[in-house]
Amino acid sequence: MEEEMTSMTQDEVLPYVMWTVATAVLVVNIIVLILGVVQKREIPVDAFLIHNLLFCYLLLCLHPYVILTMNIILNHRHDEVVIKALCSFASFVGVATSTMCMLTMVTLASSFLLRLLLPRRFKNLKSYLNALRIVLIAEWVLVGLFAVVPLIPFPVFAEAQETSKVYLCLPLHTMLEQEPMWIYTLVLASMDGLSIIVLLMLIVVTACQLHKQQRHNVGVTPMEARVIQKNAALVKRVGLMMLSTVAFRFPGVVAIFGANLNVSIPTVVFQWVFGIVLPFSGIIGPVIYVFYAGLEDTTLEACWHSCRKKAVKGGSALRVGLGQLARTVPPSRASGHGKGTDIEGALTNGMGPHTHDTLPRGSNRAPSEASWVEHVIMQSRPENFGIVEWQTSNGSPRRGLLQTFHPDHYQQWKTEALTLSRLQSKRFHPHIIECLWHSNSSKTRLDRGTGKDAAKPVYLERYICTTYYQHGSLQQFLPKFLDKFSESTLHSLSCQISQGLAFLHENNVVHTRLESTNIMVGGNPEVRALMCVCFWGVFHKTCHQ
């Protein structure tokens, strides 16, 4: 007993290794949170659960720190009250965080599998996220109550707390010791073992379901195929992170069951398993996740670009990560404008009288990555049009119509971006085209795939992304559906256009080029077509009263 009171560990090397592992867990998880990898890669539901898992890793390193603090106190003075309080705190933190870590992983795997099997039931992810928060709070409360049980001031529990000091203050007892405590230990180990089995089953079923979707993706749209691919990447990085945690958790479960089966296991083995091996999962798991998730579009990359911008002179230091576009401006035309064709370079070379900050910031719904689907031919238009697809924050696919501008058309691009942003700041109108994002409000990277034009150099252009209407312009729509319309339907379409123009006039905007190519058509033509006024190729006249 005297040896126990001079040190909490039976190995002289163990305290130094515990301190190193606990510090590494703390540093690694803080770096992952600062980098913002989870926010950039995952939808809010998955990001919330992964952040909770990282929080459990951070709390898991508290247990070794408390044990090392007790070692320092025992080496200098024997304060039984302080030692007992710290031992109780170490027991609570160790049991609560390790159990909650397993429950969070099971919740994360179950949530993803349910959304994969029942996508329509979980379409409204905002309400689902609120329900998930309630579930997670309930789990924390139940786990906290379960971890408090060994600390109840009963005589049998008080005796067990004295004997648990050799197990780093964890409630690890065998059948040869106090009866209530070995039952508690066996329940704790059974919960961990059951969580491991359920987690492995969920990962296997999810992987099989994704493999099935990838094999039967012949009739899916390109956006649905990309969603399946992103889901597979999510399962890979998160699944490997959870499997690594399970691998480091498994030796503790085996040691507890072995001790209760009268297998002779030295106390120092328990100390190494629960003091080193178990916290080490808080290092391997986040590292694996970051390795497969990558550091693109994270805080680290933003800091790197910011430092590079300050180091390089001139406006050409700023580069909007837009990627290759279909039918972009040839290199011969783009090279004649000095330092590239991005916004900063164009303004630096005198292509516009306004500065970068005079344009509106635009919507915060701009995606971090979009995919070019197909080129759209708009007659009598010098701009390039194309359909792009991206994934929204809640994981659902969305399409938009991307309009790119040559640097010579700076004034047209600026006028359209300013007008659309000013109108949207007033209110949304169903018959005025909506600007989703533009080149001054996002850093969207466009992926053209691996076609024959994918190897062409990247030339950045100004662009505006608006709502996509499946029937195209009114000029393209009328030859197909004009004979199917009644007089009342034509009257309804004309009223929609008039309502859009009335909204413009209310906001002192005059449309100078109202024609069939500047009116987009959506909806179901057989039920009710939706007309929307656009501003392509228009120099607006603003009326000041």
Give residue 458's pLDDT: 37
| 45 located within any domain | yes
112/177 same-domain check: yes
Of 248, 271, 298, which marks where a domain is finished?
298
230/320 same-domain check: no
Give residue 229's pLDDT: 81
Q: How confident is the model at residue 28 (pLDDT cuts 50, 70, 90)?
A: very high
257/188 same-domain check: yes
| 260 located within any domain | yes
| 305 located within any domain | no
Give residue 1's pLDDT: 36
181/57 same-domain check: yes
247/348 same-domain check: no
Domain limits at 456?
Answer: 315-542
In this structure, what token pair is assigned to residue 313?
């002179």
For residue 497, give the 3-state DSSP assignment. helix
| 303 located within any domain | no
What are the Cα distances from residue 239, in Å, to 101, 144, 168, 425? 14, 26, 30, 43
* pLDDT tens digits, one per residue of 344-391: 333 233 333 333 334 444 444 567 677 777 777 665 555 577 888 877
* pLDDT tens digits, one per residue of 202-227: 999 998 888 888 777 655 666 677 77
Give residue 543's pLDDT: 47
| 308 located within any domain | no
Instruction: Return d(Cα 538, Cα 411) in angstroms, integer.
Output: 10
Of 269, 298, 327, which marks where a domain is finished?
298
Q: How confident is the model at residue 342 (pLDDT cuts 50, 70, 90)?
A: very low
Backbone angles phi, psi at 457, to 5 degrees: -65, 155
pLDDT beyond 90 at 460: no
Q: How confident is the model at residue 144 (pLDDT cuts 50, 70, 90)?
A: very high
Give residue 297's pLDDT: 61
Of 298, 324, 354, which marks where a domain is finished?
298
Characterize the bridge pairing of strands 397-405 and 384-391: antiparallel
Give residue 381's pLDDT: 56
Q: Which of 97-106, 353-362, 434-443 has the lowest mean pLDDT?
A: 353-362
42/116 same-domain check: yes
* pLDDT tens digits, one per residue of 464-488: 888 888 888 888 888 887 777 777 7
Q: What is the CATH number of the domain that holds 517?
A: 3.30.200.20
| 240 located within any domain | yes
| 187 located within any domain | yes
| 50 located within any domain | yes
